[in-house]
């Protein structure tokens, strides 16, 4: 059990006929068991310039006292086992984050446009909660990661139609001082992500179509020509630089529709149909490696690709009363 004592306050200031909105607050946390006192300041500034333009500045500190530990079976199946653990004085610190963003917005005449730059620093992560499937899988240490990038969002509404477009560029890197190398790409470092979606509403009918494309996540490969080495009479995979390779690009298209039919004043039905991965695209979600034996009993490296679902239709019928 981890007991905490919390005090918080908030202040909002809205001069200039609400053209300026300043919201600031602070939260103080004390954890007697860890003898830790943490302060979390927060600031939000929204300034309108007229003609639909505005600028928004956000910044905050956050802390987290629970950490998810991820363990993998070392066999061919590689089954993932997750559990939540509390921060303690023995290798599981409180996770501390600092994040800030600055955005330029336009919202007028059924147009919404947002261009935002962001930065996030998270300290106190453990290697055990990152889901490593390389040379760091069984190493326990703490470190941090930094995410920085930019996001562009556009939305246009025309009567019954609404269209969304978004693009995100981000760079996400680890730093574990006790590992070699100490800095390398995060397991979920996705540099480019693009989404396009459209919806249509007409009376009791709704339909939507979405497209999502992103560059592949990083992964680690064994050293070519020297894939297996022996340490203390145990064969292990001899990995190359961590997260130096990239999975193929990911692409998926989804479509869905809904129809509501009112039977009476109190009863109506709802029909839903959705098709995931409409184009039946083969997407590799993860790649890992395992040591197996060939037909002669000789150890070899097997590459294991985890593939997303193919074309997946879904249907549902609801009776509402």
Predicted confidence at residue 219, as pLDDT, reads: 96
**130 and 70 in a common domain:** yes
Residue (of 189, 192, 186, 188) closest to 213 by Cα position: 192
* Of 71 and 227, the one with more pLDDT: 227
**221 and 130 in a common domain:** no
Predicted confidence at residue 16, as pLDDT, reads: 85
Q: Model confidence at 92, in pLDDT bands (50, 70, 90)?
A: confident
Which residues have C-beta within 8 Å of that of residue 167, sequence separation ≥ 6?
151, 152, 192, 193, 194, 195
Residue 195 lies inside a defined structural domain of this protein: no
**How many distinct structural domains can be found in the chain?**
2
Q: What is the pLDDT of residues 237-246, one digit of tens each?
A: 999 999 999 9
**257 and 178 in a common domain:** no
Q: What is the rounded average pLDDT for all residues in the chain?
A: 92
Q: Residue 238 sits in which domain range?
A: 204-321
CATH number of the domain at 58, please. 2.40.170.20
Q: What is the pLDDT of residues 191-208, one digit of tens each?
A: 999 999 999 999 899 999
Strands 142-158 and 95-108: unpaired
Residue 199 lies inside a defined structural domain of this protein: no
Q: How many CA atoms, within 13 angstroms, populate the side-chain half-sphere of residue 75?
A: 2
Which residues have C-beta within 8 Å of that of residue 219, sequence separation ≥ 6?
133, 134, 243, 245, 246, 247, 286, 287, 288
Predicted confidence at residue 81, as pLDDT, reads: 66
Predicted confidence at residue 77, as pLDDT, reads: 53
**22 and 120 in a common domain:** yes
């Amino acid at each position: 059990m981890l007991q905490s004592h919390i005090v918080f306050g908030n202040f909002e200031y809205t001069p200039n006929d609400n053209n300026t909105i300043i919201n600031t607050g602070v939260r103080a946390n004390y954890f007697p068991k860890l003898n830790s006192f943490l302060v979390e300041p927060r600031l939000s500034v929204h300034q309108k310039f007229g003609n639909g333009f505005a600028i928004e500045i956000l910044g905050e500190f956050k802390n987290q006292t629970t950490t998810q530990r991820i363990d993998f079976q070392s066999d061919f199946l590689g089954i993932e086992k997750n559990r939540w653990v509390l921060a303690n004085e023995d290798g599981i610190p409180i996770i501390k984050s600092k994040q800030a963003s600055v955005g330029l917005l336009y919202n007028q005449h059924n147009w919404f446009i947002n261009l935002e730059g962001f930065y996030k620093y998270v300290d106190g992560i453990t290697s055990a909660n990152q889901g490593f499937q390389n040379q760091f899988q069984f190493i326990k240490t703490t470190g941090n990661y930094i995410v920085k990038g930019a996001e562009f969002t556009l939305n246009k509404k025309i009567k019954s139609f609404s269209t969304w477009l978004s693009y995100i560029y981000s760079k996400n890197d680890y730093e574990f001082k006790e590992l070699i190398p100490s800095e390398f790409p995060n397991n979920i470092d996705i540099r480019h992500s693009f989404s396009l979606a459209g919806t249509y509403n007409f009376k009791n009918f709704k339909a939507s179509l979405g497209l999502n494309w992103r560059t592949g996540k990083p992964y680690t490969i064994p050293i070519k020509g020297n894939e297996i080495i022996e340490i203390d009479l145990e064969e292990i995979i001899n990995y190359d630089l961590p997260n130096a390779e990239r999975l193929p690009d990911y692409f998926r298209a989804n479509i869905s529709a809904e129809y509501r039919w009112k039977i009476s004043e109190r009863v109506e039905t709802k029909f839903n149909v959705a098709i995931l991965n409409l184009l039946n695209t083969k997407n590799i979600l993860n790649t890992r490696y395992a040591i197996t034996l060939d037909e002669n009993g000789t150890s070899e490296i097997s590459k294991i690709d985890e593939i997303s679902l193919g074309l997946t239709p879904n249907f549902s019928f609801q009776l509402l009363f």
